[in-house]
Homo-oligomer: A and B are copies of this chain.
Amino acid sequence: MKRIAIDMDEVVADAHLRFAEWYTRDYGTQFTPEQLHAHTFEDLIDPVHRGISKKYVFHDDFFKDLAVIPGCKEVIKDLHEKYEIFFTTAAMEFPNSLLPKLAWLGEHFPYISWTNIVFCGDKSIINADYLIDDNVKHFKRFIGQGILFTAAHNHHVEWDVRVNNWQEIRAMLL
């Protein structure tokens, strides 16, 4: 059975939206879905607030109850019939994310065992056939095929295998 490793932030959990929500809460500025799709958070905000994402991301509540990326629950449920599924997230950078991420996965993917959850940093340590991730840096030394999941920050990044949404993952892998 082939194995798929799946990143969390911007692939199944919408951290980008959380940045925007907190900025709206703190400064009133509203963002349209089109803006959020096209631009990174730091590009959208008032330049006087540049760097605020660093403050937000280390807050204890940042990773709690993140919105689910559309389509991932249905597609991963079906992938799980034909592949070994592991969630592999570079959580070590944010110790505040460890417990919220574990709780989030338990809530949204209760059929994925704790044995198949990986909190790491350098993803070249992952032994899988595919890695679905929004960050190409993890593909450079990855043993399998990296699949770039489109996110606001990677529109202009070059990578040979890219998907724009979970329906495209279904078409590619099922």
Contacts and interface: CB of A to CB of B under 8 A. Distances in A.
A116 B120 CA distance: 7
Interface in A68-111: 86, 88, 90-93, 95, 98-99, 102
Contacts of A125: 3, 5, 86, 88, 116, 118, 126-128
Contacts of A124: 127
Copies per complex of this chain = 2
B121 A92 contact: no
Interface residues of A, number: 28
Interface string A1-36: 001010000000000000000000000000000000
Given A115-B121, A117-B120, A122-B115, A92 B102 contact: yes
Interface in A119-150: 119-122, 124-128, 143
Contact of A119 (B113, B116, B118, B122): B118
Contact of A127 (B90, B102, B117, B126): B126
Contacts of A3: 125
Contact of A121 (B5, B98, B113, B127): B113
